[in-house]
Structure 1
Amino acid sequence: MSLTLTERFLRGLELSPERPAVRIGPDVVTYREAHETALRWAGSLIADGAPRAVGVLASKSATSYVGLLAVLYAGATVVPLLPNFPAALTRWMIKLAGVDTLIVDERGLAVLPEVVDQETAVRVLDTGGFSDRFPTIPVTSHPEIAAPVQVSPSDRAYILFTSGSTGIPKGVPISHGSFTHYFDLLDKRCDFGPDDVISQTFDLNFDCGIHVVFSAWGAGATVQAVPPSAYRDLPAFLAEHGITVWYSTPSGIWMAREMGGLEKGALGGLRWSFFAGEALRCQDAADWQAAAPGAKVENLYGPTELTITVCWHRWSGEESERRGVNGTVPIGRVHEAHDFRLVTEQGQQSSVEGELWVSGPQMATGYLDPADDEGRFVALDGRRWYRTGDRVRARPDGELVYIGRLDSQVKVHGWRVELAEVDHVVRECDGVRDAVTVTRPAPHGTELVVFYTGDEVPETVLADGVRAVLPDSVLPRRYVHLVGFPLNSNRKVDRLALQEQAAELTD
């Protein structure tokens, strides 16, 4: 049975009315409490005039979760915003998304004076008694509506913003229909239930965070926020909170490993484990599986423009390693009802390798700014396709393997270099745990810098390993040992920060 996002919550409400819908530190909100509060807030939004896009400017708090539910109950579009983002960037997102109403928590309220300017007029839903500080929408003490507003599949559910690696993030509107297709497939594959507790390592402006919320709420399960401090003793945190389903970026694996949390069987309470947002290394998947022997471990792949993820591969040990490339786990097959094609640099379709293009019901119709569509959303053969920018290899059985970003294939002294291949070779050196290769400008053009974790290894040893795949003229200029990689707000390796660090190195 196909369900909208609000209908997923209502199913969870029916299954688990008095169970926690979300737990964040000491704060616990039951399904019934979230439902009743969301009805009041949604009714207040509607009474003030039918809202179209409502921003939720909040940290990982109870307000953020109830707020997004209230916006959906009101039939409006959720625009998740983070208080720790630069104020100018948040202001730009508000304007681009057409937000004129905000739901805020204490941290959101604290930064709001920096966000609002003379050209950014917003009203704030008065959920906490701050009517004297900003134009507000009062919240009544009783529900203004009896049930969520009905929506159509083409209506916008969320507006998410890309990470902005090119400088200015792109707004991606995602429809109720796209989410419905995604979660229909998830329900068929996964047996989540009211007794499950699902980890929330993501912020709600990251599409993976939406996966956690509505996969849990559709099953009457509990969303459990995971603070960074949990990695100090992850097995103890998971046991204390009864977490049965884990979801994070692959960086979460090495964070747990660094703190000694991946001993054999240490995560024995897990039934499922999902990783997305970065390439998943086979060694990391194997280490996690050893720590969580009773869990199904899946590698998920997909850009925001294709609604959370559009491929999945279930880890199967040596067989997955055999199918992978450069020591990474395959990404699997595209979801049913979708088509894909691999396109070479010359624009020709290939059956073997090329840029991955996808078309299907999870694809966004385009960006908020149509000017951003050029080069990404392409009309071909009577269909619209999304160009992922990812190089992918197809196996004979149709399963896909991620090779790397197109923009991670660089030229150094005229020689084409695949950065993921350099990463893989360095990881194979004794003592190295992980490696990330970046470029930096040099008087002679472009040169490579490798950052790595694990033991500190002599540069000559690392250079000998890389020399097996690269000629001497393009060997990395520097090998820099780090205790851990910097992470961005989505807990992915922050490659931009590493590039900046590489540019500041002195020879």
Structure 2
Amino acid sequence: MSLTLVERFLRGLEVSPDRPAVRIGSDVVTYREAHNTALRWAGSLMADGTPRVVGVLAGGKSTTSYVGLLAVLYAGATVVPLLPNFPAALTRWMIKLAGVDTLIVDDRGLAVLPEITDQETAVRVLDTGGFGDSFPTIPVTSRTDILAPVQVAPSDQAYILFTSGSTGVPKGVPISHGSFTHYFDLLDRRCDFGPDDVISQTFDLNFDCGIHVVFAAWGAGATVQAVPPSAYRDLPAFLAEHGITVWYSTPSGIWMAREMGGLEKGALDCLRWSFFAGEALRCRDAADWQAAAPGSKVENLYGPTELTITISWHRWSGEESEGRGVNGTVPIGKVHEAHDFRLVTEQGRRSSVEGELWVTGPQMASGYLDPADEEGRFVDLDGRRWYRTGDRVRAHPDGELAYVGRLDSQVKVHGWRVELAEVDHVVRECDGVRGAVTVTRTALHGTELVVFYTGDEVPETVLADGVRAVLPDSVLPRRYVHLANFPLNSNRKVDRIALRERAAELAG
């Protein structure tokens, strides 16, 4: 049975009324408590006029953010997750672009509100905690003003999410209720989540993977368990203490756990499912995680925000998966049913083997909030609209796809075409190296490469000898920089912008 996001929560409420819907540290909100509060807040929003787009400005690990997003959906409005620790100017820009005129905030959100608002950014705040007269407020009544959530149509907007901006300025992406319904319907058919499951939340709610966690859990009556960064100091103990049975993070979570000694064989034997998304998943990392979690199904999920969370998946199967991957990464699997895809070469021709991945289907967003951003990303062809992912993939005869790299990660150095993912792979194969990220920087003589790596510190001559297998001497990386850990952005992906900035600052 296909369910909307709200109907997923109501199903969880039916099977787990007094179980925790979300647990953050010592703060616990049950399904019944979340439902009653969401009805009251939604009724208050509606009493002040039919809400259209409501922002939730709350810390990513705040119970207000979870109940707030549910309240907005109960009111039939579109929710825009916002984080208090983002630059004020960026949040102000997001609010204006999305058309937000009402906010639900927690204490952290309220504290930064004076920096965000200006004469052109007038917002009202739902008064959930005696906010006084600092801002125009909408009072919250002590009674429930609506008896049930507002009904929505599949075409109605559920969320407006903003891309990470890792490849440029963040873009506003409206996602419909129908797109989410299709995504979670497929997930339900594949996964056997139940009321006894506890699902890790390593993401903030402005990241679409965080939405996956919330409604995967709530649709089953399971518990969302927030995972603080400190948990990685002893991840096995944290999982055992909180009864976590389903794990979801970026692949960076694997090397964070490994660095702290948390991937010993069988150390994560409490897990039934493990999901990774947001970055390319390395075969070595998948194998190490599987060894630590022998009873878990391990899946690599792939997909940009514009295709509603993820659009393909591959279940790790050891040597078979390794043999089907490219550059030491796990395949991304088959595109979800009811979607079409095509691979397009640099010359614009369709290929059956390798090219940029284009996708169309029910999970695809209709476009961006700013239509000017759509050029080069959304394409109308053969009577249909397609989304260009910007990712180059390779197809197996059975339709399964392997990730090759970003189109923008293919660069020219002294006229030689260099595949950065291939350099990363070769460096990672050197003894002692655990992770590698290659970036470019501008020099007097043109573009040059800089490699950042983690693991043991390895002599540059050893690393250079490995790279010579794929590159001529004239374009070998200029520097190899050892790091204890890679910097991560707010979505816990490797922060390539920060690495490029650091590369530009290096001498020589």
Report the Cα distance in structure 1 between the residues aligned to 2:359 and 2:163, rounded to whole angstroms. 18
What is the 5 A alignment of 1:76-475?
76-475=77-476
CA RMSD of aligned residues (A): 0.5
- Residue 164 of structure 1: how far off its partner (Å): 1.4
User: Any idea what SS the aligned residue of 2:119 has?
Assistant: coil
- The separation in 1 between residues aligned to 2:143 and 2:332, in whole angstroms, is 48
Q: Residues of 1 paired with 2:133 and 2:432: CA distance?
A: 59
- More moved, 159-168 vs 135-144: 159-168
Alignment partner of 2:199: what SS? strand
TM-score, length basis structure 2: 0.99
Q: Which runs of no fewer than 5 residues in structure 1 stay unpaired? A: none
Counterpart residue type for residue 412 of structure 2: K
- Residues 389-417 of structure 1 show CA distances to partners (whole Å, capped at 9, x for unaligned) of 00000011110000000000000000000
SS across alignment from 2:165? coil
How big is each residue's C-alpha offset from its partner over 1:172-204, in whole Å with a ceiling of 9 and x where there is no partner?
000000000000000000000000000000000
Tell me the residue number matched to 1:15: 15
The whole-number CA distance in structure 2 between the counterparts of 1:369 and 1:438 is 30
Q: Determine the C-alpha separation between the residues in 2 that align with 1:272 and 1:444.
A: 50
Secondary structure of the structure 1 residue equivalent to 2:450: strand
The alpha-carbon deviation at position 132 of structure 1 amounts to 1.8
Letter of the 2:55 partner, please give it: G
- Alpha-carbon distance in structure 2 between the residues aligned to 1:168 and 1:487: 18
Q: Secondary structure at the residue paired with 2:491?
A: coil
State the distance in 1 between where 2:159 and 2:398 align: 35
The ranges of structure 1 where at least 4 consecutive aligned residues each deviate by more than 6 angstroms after the TM superposition are: none
Q: What letter is aligned with 1:410?
A: V
Distance 1:434 1:164 in 2: 23
What amino acid is the match of 1:235? Answer: P
CA–CA distance in structure 2, aligned partners of residues 374 and 505 of structure 1: 35
Q: CA deviation at 1:133?
A: 1.2
1:41 matched to 2:41? The reply is yes
Report the Cα offset of residue 166 of structure 1. 4.3
Aligned to 2:313, what secondary structure does the other structure show?
Answer: strand
2:487 corresponds to 1:486: yes
Report how far residue 374 of structure 1 moved: 1.0
The residue identity in structure 1 corresponding to 2:128 is: T
Is 12-21 or 375-384 further displaced after alignment?
375-384
Deviation at 1:21, TM superposition (A): 0.0
Pairwise CA distance, 1:306: 0.1
Residue aligned with 2:160, SS: strand
How far apart, CA to CA, are the structure 1 residues paired with 2:121 and 2:319? 55
Deviations 1:50-90 (A, max 9, x none): 00000000002010000000000000000000000000000
Q: Which residue identity is paired with 2:79?
A: V
| Contact kept? 2:201, 2:225, Cα under 8 Å | yes
Q: Could you list the per-position Cα deviations for residues 325-347 of structure 1 after superposition, in whole angstroms to 9, with x for gaps in the alignment?
A: 10000000000000000000000
CA distance in 2, matches of 1:468, 1:374: 38
Q: CA shift at 1:165, angstroms?
A: 2.6
Aligned residue for 2:55, secondary structure, equals: strand
Report the CA distance between 1:131 and its aligned residue. 2.5
After superposition, what is the alpha-carbon deviation per residue over 1:329-387, rounded to whole angstroms, capped at 9, x for unaligned?
Answer: 00000000000000000000000000000000000000001111111110111111000
Deviations 1:195-220 (A, max 9, x none): 00000000000000000000000000
Q: CA deviation at 1:168?
A: 2.0
Q: Tell me the SS of whatever aligns to 1:262.
A: coil
Name the amino acid aligned to 1:434: G
Q: Provide, for residues 421-451 of structure 1, a one-character-per-residue CA deviation record: whole Å limited to 9, x for no partner.
A: 0000000001101100000001111000000
> Conserved in 1, the CA contact under 8 Å of 2:263 and 2:289?
yes
User: Which residue of structure 2 aligns with residue 4 of structure 1?
Assistant: 4
Where does residue 70 of structure 2 map in the other structure? 69
Distance 2:166 2:327 in 1: 24
> What amino acid does structure 2 have at the position aligned with 1:261?
G
Alpha-carbon distance, 1:167 to partner: 4.0
SS of corresponding position for 2:213: helix
Paired amino acid for 2:193: F
SS in 2 for 1:273: strand
Q: Percent identity?
A: 90
Matches of 1:444 and 1:338 in 2, distance apart? 46
Give SS of 1:89's match: helix
Q: For structure 2, which runs of at least 5 residues remain unmatched after alignment?
A: none
State how far apart, in whole Å, the 2-side matches of 1:166 and 1:204 are.
20
Q: Aligned partner of 1:393: which letter? A: R
Contact 2:166 2:496 in 1 (8 A): no
Give the partner amino acid of 1:34: A
Distance (whole Å) between structure 1 residues aligned to residue 99 and residue 169 of structure 2: 17
State whether structure 2 residue 35 is matched by structure 1 residue 31: no
Give the 3-state SS of the residue equivalent to 2:244 in structure 1: coil
